Structures are given as C-alpha cells and as structure tokens.
C-alpha cells in the first residue's frame, strides 16, 4: 500500500555524523522512505544503526548533510516546533527505556499526556492497547516486576499509542526467542498495513530473509539499499509456519479490525 | 493539598528532604529580619513626629545670682524675638533639681551648688530653627550658652534606625538570593539525577515547559512546606523576645509591638519563598533544557 505520490516521510541527503571530534560514524548517507514503507535496518554491530535511528528520532543533529522529516528540513526548523514532529515518531528504544517508577499504564499514557490529550481518552486508549498486547492484567505493574517480553510489549505500546506516522524500533527482537520475535514483527506489519512507515533495526538476518522487506544496510557508516529480498519458496513457507506457531501461542493478541 | 502525579520520580530523591529544611532556615531568618525592620519602622515613625518641635537652651551658672538673672532675662528677650518661637520659658530651679536628683541626690534647690539654668522653647508648628544662628546670637550676650535641639538628637536616632532598616532590606535581599541559589543548585542536581527520564520525555515529544512544570510544582510545594516550618519556628522566637522586653519593664525601651497588618506581612514570607523557589526551578529547567536539540 505504497503512496509514492506523497512526499517522503524521511529523506537523508549526504548525511554525516560524528560525536565530538571523533571519526564519522555515518558517512554520506542518502535515502528516502515513502509513506507506508517497511524497512529493516541491518549491519554488523557498530555499523551505525543506532546512530542512524537517533538522527531519525531527533536525538542528534547531523554533523553535515540534510535531513527532512515529514517534509521539513530539520536544520531550519525552530526548536519549539520539534516536539510536534517528535510526537509523530514512535520509538521502541534498544533497552526499552521505560520509566521504572511508573506503572505500565502510565508509561503507555505518557505520549498522550505529553501531547495534552484528554484524560478519559487516555484511559480508554491505553487500556485498549495494553489489552491488545496481552497486558490487561498488568496495567498497574511497574516495569521492573515485568518479564523481558512483557516490558518489550509495554515499550511497543508506548511507541504506537499516539498513532505515529513513523515507527522506529532498535533491536526490538534482541532479547526474545524466535516465536516472540515473529509476533512482534507481525504487530509492526499490522501497523504498517494501517499506514505507518516502519524501520526496524536488527542484526537478526534470519528474520530479515524470512519476511522479504527491503533493507537499509549499513557497513562502517556507509549505507546501501537492498531492495526487496523476495520472500519466496522455502523462506515464505518458513514464515508461514512460524506465523502459525505464533498464532497458536495462547496470549497472541487479536489484531485490531481495520 | 493537591498531590500532583508526576512523570519524574521527583519525590524519591534526597532533594525532597533537603530543600524544605534549607528553605525553612531561610524563611526563619527572613521573618526575623522583617520583624525587626517593621518594629524599627514603627519606632522611627513615632520619633519622626517629635523632631524639631522642642529646643532647650542651657545657661551655665555665673558668679552670682544677679548675673544669673540678667543672663536669663537677656536670653529670653532674644529668644522671644525669634519669629519661629511659639514660647520660651525658664525652667524653675526646683524642677532642675528634680531632674538631677537621680545623680546628685536631694539637693532641694539650695544655693550651695551652682546649677545651670534651662530655657524650654517650643517652636511653632512646622517651623524650623537655625540653631547655629541662635547660638551665635546668644553667645555674644551669655558666654558658654548651649543650644540643644532634641530634634537633632532624634534626627540622628531616626537616621540610625533608617540605616538599620536599609541593612534589614539588604539582609532580606541576600536571603532571597541565597534561596534562589539553593533552588538552582538542587534543581540542577535533580536534572542530573533524572537526566535519563527527562531525555525519554523529550524524545516522546514533551515540551520544555512540560518538564519544567513538574520541577516548578515540586519546588512550590517543597518551598511552601519549608516556609511554613520556618515561620512556625520564627513565631515562638518573636513571642519570646516580646515577652522578655515586656518583663524588663523599662522606660528606656519604647513600647512597640507588631500590628495585625505586620503579622500578616510575616505570614506572607513562606508564600514568597515558595514562589521564588517555583520561578527559580522553572527558569533553571527551561534554561538547561534549551541545550538539548
């Protein structure tokens, strides 16, 4: 469901990034993401995947080059307008970065509160979403009391609660088994079907080859674009088998009706 | 009191225990300084009204009584001719003896001890007397005469009080500055402690004002709590001082006490401290967040 007619959600042109006076961790990175696209971001450790995501969720400014987010040049956007852009970007951080002192409910409610949503709306949507990811019984649990997989689902719920146009996930399948990984990726695909542009950083090559989405491949700070690794033949069958396995798992949340 | 839910674990850091006590000390000192200032102001206001209305002329004792009487006549004549003078009259010798009694004992106005003569002068309302000129004029007739204006003495006293008042204001300003410094320091520490959480809020799309509001609200409540502690420590101290002053029962100390309006001003100090804390926290947070992209 690509809408090529629309302006790209993200556009990088000759972007370079260095920390302090160190070497460039990203060099001459150029790419653009069309609305509704789904990309994996792959590459060995230290290739700059997290740095590239940080540029996309506006945690850093590039040392050089041009970044457009939602058709706005970040360099010329005044600081006071950046929060509004960030609210359209959902991020699943590498270590989740849940707020330990807040309940699962409050963590997920945060993006809505920050945006000044009404209280009854917040209550309704957060409970709905947490139920959907199978955490209905853990609304008031604090993250440290939840398992790794449960924390991950809270983090994902927080990333998607405000219906972002762009969803970024940094190694979301890092600490979970294959079955859980597939379930999470399905969740992202579900959101993608609803129109969200998705970028998932991972070094799980097996996952990437199974699903057949195009890849942004980083190697020593340089970017290659690997268009559509076709998921055909055995890979497709494997994917289907894994899908079935995932659906069999008792806590698989029912997808939202489109 | 409304307990606000905050996204930052602000109630769990040590600052929550630390800041109220610091503010309590500040408010204690501020209340004492302000109370002193208000009392002095009242005192000065009372003495101000007495300034310049009375003057005393003192004529030293001469060789014999006739000379004394001549001096007195001449001096009175000069004084009564001055247009500003409402009246001038000699103070009877018996009264002078009474005034001196505490120092010299009962001398009963006997001629044994040469006593100076005194003239009491009351000036017309609003009039001022050029003491130097009067003194010059009298000196040519009566050698060794002195012109003593209570006004001058009172004026000096009032000036001293006004100086102390200015000092009190300076002390209040310094206390306010120290409070600002304390809050800046604790807020910066809080920002450092909660940096990670603040960064998450920032990346989720929180505006600086959203984060600042949480720090400011906490500073307001901590400041109010500390301020009330300070006030409740200061009030017994003030009552204690008042009690001691009363029990002295001395005519040396003028009878002044705080009026209801002035008590109210003291009660406002904790609120002012809380407000200072809130604004300082807000400005500190907004300034330091401006460094983030």
Angle at alpha carbon of residue A130, lines to A124 and A134, rounded to 5°: 140
Is A123 within a domain?
yes
A106/B contact by beta carbon, under 8 A = yes
Q: Give the C-alpha separation, A68 to B18, whole Å.
A: 46
Categorize the per-residue pLDDT at B74 as very low, low, confident or very high, splitting at 50, 70 and 90.
confident
SS3 content of chain A, % helix, strand, coil (to 5): 40, 20, 40
Q: Give the C-alpha separation, A84 to B241, whole Å.
A: 59
Q: For position A190, which CATH number holds? A: 3.40.50.300
- pLDDT at residue number A245: 58
Q: What is the mean pLDDT of residues B165-191?
A: 93
Query: Above 50 in pLDDT, residue B1?
Result: no
Query: What's the pLDDT tens digit per position in A160-212?
Result: 999 899 999 998 877 667 777 787 788 889 889 989 999 999 888 878 888 88
The chain A residue lying nearest B12, using CA atoms, is A101
The number of domains in chain A is 1
CA quadruple A107, A108, A111, A116: dihedral, nearest 10: -90
Is A96 within a domain?
yes
**Residues B157-179, buried b or exposed e (16+ Cβ, 10 A)?**
ebeebeeebeebeebbeebbeeb
Domain extent for A111: 36-58+86-248
Q: Give the C-alpha separation, A150 to A134, whole Å.
A: 9
Query: What's the pLDDT tens digit per position in A122-173?
Result: 999 999 999 988 899 999 999 999 988 889 889 999 999 998 999 999 988 7
Scan residues 177-206 of B and list those with Cβ closer than 8 Å to A.
196-197, 199-206
Tokens of B70: 């001549």
- Among left, alpha and beta (phi > 0; psi -120 to 50; other), residue B126 is left
Q: Give the C-alpha separation, A74 to A84, whole Å.
A: 12
- pLDDT at residue number B107: 63
Contact A99 B12 (CB under 8 A): no
Is A31 within a domain?
no
What residues are paired with A103 via a beta bridge?
none
B9/A contact by beta carbon, under 8 A = yes
**Residue that is written with structure tokens 């949480």 in the block:** B214
**Residue that is written with structure tokens 């970044």 in the block:** A67
Chain B residues near residue A91 by CB distance under 8 angstroms? 203-204
A193/B contact by beta carbon, under 8 A = no
CB A92 within 8 A of CB A41: no
Q: What is the mean pLDDT of residues B116-140?
A: 81
- pLDDT at residue number A133: 83
> How many CB pairs (< 8 A) connect A and B?
52
- Determine the residue among B201, B205, B214, B288 to mutate to test chain A binding: the one whose Cβ has the most chain A Cβ atoms within 10 Å: B205
- Domains of chain B are 10-49+155-289 (no CATH), 53-128 (3.30.70)
Query: Above 90 in pLDDT, residue B173?
Result: yes
Is A81 within a domain?
no
Taking the whole predicted model, whether its pTM rises above 0.80 is answered as no
Chain B residues near residue A79 by CB distance under 8 angstroms? 290, 293
Is A54 within a domain?
yes
Contact A60 B293 (CB under 8 A): yes
- pLDDT at residue number B32: 93
**Residue that is written with structure tokens 């101290």 in the block:** B237
Q: How far is CA B201 from the centre of its chain?
A: 49
Query: Above 60 in pLDDT, residue B150?
Result: yes
Reduced to 3 states (helix: H, G, I; strand: E, B; else coil), residue A92 is strand
Categorize the per-residue pLDDT at B140 as very low, low, confident or very high, splitting at 50, 70 and 90.
confident
CB count in 10 Å sphere of residue B52: 18
Stretch among A98-102, A236-240, B124-128 having the lowest mean pLDDT: A236-240
* Longest Cα–Cα distance in chain B: 103
Stretch among B52-66, B186-200, B244-258 having the lowest mean pLDDT: B244-258
- Residue by residue, DSSP assigns B202-237 as HHHT--HHHHHHHHHHHHHHHHHHHHHHHHHHHHHH
Strands (E), chain B: 54-59, 85-90, 117-123, 146-149
Is A70 within a domain?
no
- pLDDT at residue number A104: 94
Query: Above 80 in pLDDT, residue B10?
Result: no
What residues are paired with B58 via a beta bridge?
B118, B146
Is A162 within a domain?
yes
Query: What's the pLDDT tens digit per position in A36-76?
Result: 999 999 988 888 899 999 999 999 999 999 999 999 999 99
Is A2 within a domain?
no
Query: What's the pLDDT tens digit per position in B17-27?
Result: 889 999 999 99
Chain B residues near residue A57 by CB distance under 8 angstroms? 203
A142/B contact by beta carbon, under 8 A = no
């Amino acid at each position: 469901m690509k809408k090529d007619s629309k302006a790209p959600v993200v556009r990088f042109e000759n972007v370079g990034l260095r920390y302090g006076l160190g070497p460039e961790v990203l060099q001459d990175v150029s790419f653009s993401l069309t609305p509704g696209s789904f990309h994996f971001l792959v590459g060995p450790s230290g290739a700059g995947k997290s740095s590239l995501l940080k540029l996309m969720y506006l945690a850093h400014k590039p040392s050089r080059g041009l970044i457009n987010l939602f058709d706005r040049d970040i360099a010329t956007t005044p600081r006071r307008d950046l929060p509004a852009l960030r609210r359209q970007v959902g991020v699943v951080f590498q270590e989740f970065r849940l707020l330990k002192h807040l309940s699962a409910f409050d963590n997920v409610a945060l993006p809505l509160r920050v945006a000044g949503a009404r209280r009854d709306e917040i209550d309704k949507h957060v409970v709905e979403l947490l139920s959907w990811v199978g955490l209905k019984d853990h609304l008031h649990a604090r993250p440290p009391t939840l398992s790794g997989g449960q924390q991950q689902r809270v983090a994902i719920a927080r990333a998607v609660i405000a219906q972002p146009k762009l969803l970024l996930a940094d190694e979301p399948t890092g600490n979970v088994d294959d079955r859980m990984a597939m379930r999470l990726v399905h969740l992202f695909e579900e959101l993608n079907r609803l129109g969200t542009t998705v970028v998932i950083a991972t070094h799980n090559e097996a996952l990437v080859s199974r699903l057949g989405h195009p890849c942004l491949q980083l190697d020593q700070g340089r970017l290659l674009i690997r268009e559509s690794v076709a998921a055909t033949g055995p890979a497709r069958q494997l994917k289907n088998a894994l899908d079935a396995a995932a659906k069999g798992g008792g806590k698989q949340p029912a997808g939202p009706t489109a | 009191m409304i307990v606000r839910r905050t996204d930052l674990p602000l109630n769990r850091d040590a600052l929550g225990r630390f800041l109220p006590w610091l503010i309590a000390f500040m408010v204690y000192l501020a209340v004492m300084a302000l109370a002193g200032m208000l009392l002095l102001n009242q005192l000065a206001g009372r003495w101000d009204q007495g300034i310049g209305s009375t003057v005393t002329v003192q004529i030293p004792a001469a060789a014999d009584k006739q000379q004394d009487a001549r001096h007195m006549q001449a001096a009175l004549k000069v004084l009564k001719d001055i247009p500003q003078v409402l009246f001038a009259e000699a103070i009877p010798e018996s009264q002078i003896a009474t005034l001196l009694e505490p120092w010299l004992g009962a001398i009963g106005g006997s001629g044994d001890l040469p006593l100076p003569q005194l003239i009491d002068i009351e000036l017309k309302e609003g009039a001022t007397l050029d003491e130097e000129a009067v003194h010059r004029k009298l000196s040519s007739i009566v050698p060794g005469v002195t012109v003593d204006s209570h006004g001058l003495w009172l004026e000096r006293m009032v000036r001293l009080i006004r100086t102390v008042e200015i000092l009190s204001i300076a002390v209040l300003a310094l206390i306010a500055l120290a409070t600002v410094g304390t809050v800046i320091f604790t807020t910066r520490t809080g920002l450092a402690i909660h940096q990670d959480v603040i960064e998450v809020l920032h990346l989720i799309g929180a505006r600086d004002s959203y984060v600042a509001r949480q720090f400011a609200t906490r500073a307001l409540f901590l400041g109010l709590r500390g301020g009330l502690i300070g006030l409740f420590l200061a009030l017994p101290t003030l009552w204690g001082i008042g009690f001691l002053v009363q029990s002295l029962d001395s005519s040396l100390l003028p009878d002044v006490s705080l009026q209801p309006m002035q008590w109210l001003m003291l009660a406002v100090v904790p609120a002012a401290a809380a407000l200072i804390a809130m604004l300082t926290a807000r400005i500190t947070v907004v300034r330091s967040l401006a460094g983030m992209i």
